């Protein structure tokens, strides 16, 4: 059985037809589905380019293919191409395919009416929270409030109609977007053993200069890089000797560079651009003293878990699944510059606390090793396949309207964290 995976990510295609990604969703990511399904078709935006850099990774390969959706960036471009997008999404769906939607995704709106109209089972993997994505301050768009209402409503609808839902958090996303059928908390973060350091960082003397590191998109501001720059400026004005390295890129990078100049910390903030995942990112994490992610929204932040795997002290905000990773004393409210600055100072001037954070974070990261999560994730996909097979059998026998619910097959709704 083939499985269709619908997600909101932009891939790149070279003239030879191969599909590439710079960071997330390389070929190795899709292998998890091949433990249950025979083939995988990824439905996502694809842009054509003449070539890619040497550090990009292949996303397609043996048994993994792509159904390209016309590339768009932002709501206006989506609206201009909406008919082509809908047609591409619907053309990708075969009569006997299983369907998994990685949400939130505008592409699900193109597929959902077709699925519901045929009483066709589908599963959802919830990886982010649109209610927080479109929170005040996180997105600069005149329709932000409408998008917040619309995307939140759509995700609740998708989860309510799914035969099974997988969430990247223990509790946060489940509570806001419940699924009445099989519901599981399974982290989407996969840590290979070699990415996890052997021991916590040792207790050091008081830092003469502290290095902070931020990893996140600059295509929008929901990771709050602007808040972090302002907090660094407050720290510097207060006499703290710190440097900030920012990994990521996007349309707001120039604006953020101007902000650093306006705050008189351009000599303290380094914009390193988009680095390929792997050793280049790990080196930056290893060289840093504190990872800071002051987001307005998160599911379960992959970058933070990867930083924890390097035994790096981390500072985050009270959103999404971040409180499931960090204790309350390592969290601040989103958008609060002064509170973030105070917390940075509080941490980097206390070597004993940093050593404790290092040990605690490393222990938490070990819960996200691939071998810990894979078996439970595979059970979830088996359930999705079995529900699709039941639907296909009922369709063949002309019993489609009498297909029983998930619970009638003996599957009880449950909330677990597969860690």
Q: Do residues 9 and 45 touch, judged by C-beta distance below 8 A?
A: yes
Tell me, what DSSP letter sits at residue 249?
Answer: -
Instruction: Look over the chain and give the mean of its residue pLDDT values, rounded to a whole number.
Output: 89
Q: Do residues 16 and 52 touch, judged by C-beta distance below 8 A?
A: no
Q: Which domains does the chain have, with CATH numbers?
A: 2-190+370-418 (3.40.50), 193-367 (3.40.50.2000)
pTM: predicted TM-score of the whole model, two decimal places = 0.79
pLDDT at 416: 28
Mapped onto helix, strand or coil, the DSSP state of residue 331 is: strand
Least-confidence region, from 154-158, 187-191, 368-372, 402-406: 402-406
pLDDT at 223: 93
Tokens of 3: 């499985």
pLDDT at 418: 24
Angstrom CA distances, 340 to 51, 82, 99, 240, 329, stand at 41, 41, 42, 14, 12
Arithmetic mean of pLDDT, 387-398 = 91
Model confidence band, residue 400 (pLDDT cutoffs 50, 70, 90): low
Give the pLDDT confidence of 401-410 residue by residue, as tens digits. Answer: 544 443 333 3
CA atoms in the 13 A half-sphere facing the CB of 317: 24
Give the pLDDT confidence of 242-257 residue by residue, as tens digits. Answer: 999 999 998 899 999 9
pLDDT at 164: 97
Give the pLDDT confidence of 62-71 residue by residue, as tens digits. Answer: 999 999 999 8
The beta-carbon contacts of 87-96 under 8 Å, at least 24 apart in sequence, are 88/43, 89/6, 89/43, 90/114, 91/67, 92/4, 92/41, 92/43, 92/67, 93/4, 94/2, 94/4, 96/1, 96/2, 96/388, 96/392
Who has greater pLDDT, 346 or 400? 346
**Contacting residues for 145 by C-beta, under 8 A, at least 6 apart:** 134
């Amino acid at each position: 059985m083939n499985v269709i995976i619908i997600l909101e990510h932009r891939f790149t295609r070279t003239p030879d037809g191969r599909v590439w990604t710079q960071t997330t969703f390389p070929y190795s990511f899709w292998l998890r589905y091949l433990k249950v399904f025979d083939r995988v078709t990824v439905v996502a935006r694809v842009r054509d380019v003449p070539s890619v850099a040497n550090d990009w990774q292949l996303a397609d390969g043996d048994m993994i293919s792509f159904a390209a959706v016309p590339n768009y960036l932002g709501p206006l471009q989506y609206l201009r191409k909406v008919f082509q997008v809908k047609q591409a999404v619907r053309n990708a769906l075969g009569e006997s395919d299983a369907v998994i939607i990685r949400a939130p995704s505008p592409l699900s709106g193109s597929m959902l009416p077709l699925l519901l109209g045929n009483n066709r089972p589908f599963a959802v993997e919830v990886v982010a929270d649109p209610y927080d994505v479109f929170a005040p301050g996180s997105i600069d768009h005149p329709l932000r409030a409408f998008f917040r209402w619309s995307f939140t409503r759509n995700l609740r609808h998708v989860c309510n109609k799914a035969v099974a839902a997988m969430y990247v958090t223990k509790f946060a996303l489940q509570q806001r977007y419940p699924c009445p059928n099989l519901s599981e908390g399974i982290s989407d973060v996969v840590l290979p053993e070699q990415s996890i350091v052997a021991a916590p960082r040792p207790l050091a003397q008081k830092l003469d200069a502290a290095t902070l590191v931020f990893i996140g998109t600059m295509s929008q501001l929901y990771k709050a890089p602007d808040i972090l720059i302002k907090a660094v400026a407050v720290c510097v004005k207060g006499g703290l000797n710190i440097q900030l390295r920012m990994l990521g890129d996007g349309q707001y990078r120039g604006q953020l560079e101007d902000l650093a100049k306006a705050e008189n910390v351009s000599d303290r903030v380094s914009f390193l651009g988009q680095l390929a995942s792997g050793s280049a990112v790990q080196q930056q994490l290893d060289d840093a003293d504190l990872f800071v992610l002051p987001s307005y929204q998160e599911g379960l932040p992959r970058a933070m878990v990867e930083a924890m795997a390097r035994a790096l002290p981390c500072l985050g905000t009270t959103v999404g699944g971040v409180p499931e990773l960090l204790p309350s004393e390592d969290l601040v409210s989103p958008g609060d510059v002064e509170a973030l600055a105070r917390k940075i100072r509080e941490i980097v001037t206390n070597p004993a606390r940093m050593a404790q954070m290092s040990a605690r974070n490393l222990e938490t990261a070990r819960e996200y090793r691939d071998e810990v999560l894979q078996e439970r994730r595979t059970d979830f996909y088996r359930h999705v396949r079995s529900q699709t097979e039941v639907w296909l059998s009922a369709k063949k026998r002309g019993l489609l309207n009498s297909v029983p619910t998930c619970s009638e097959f003996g599957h009880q709704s449950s909330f677990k964290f597969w860690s």
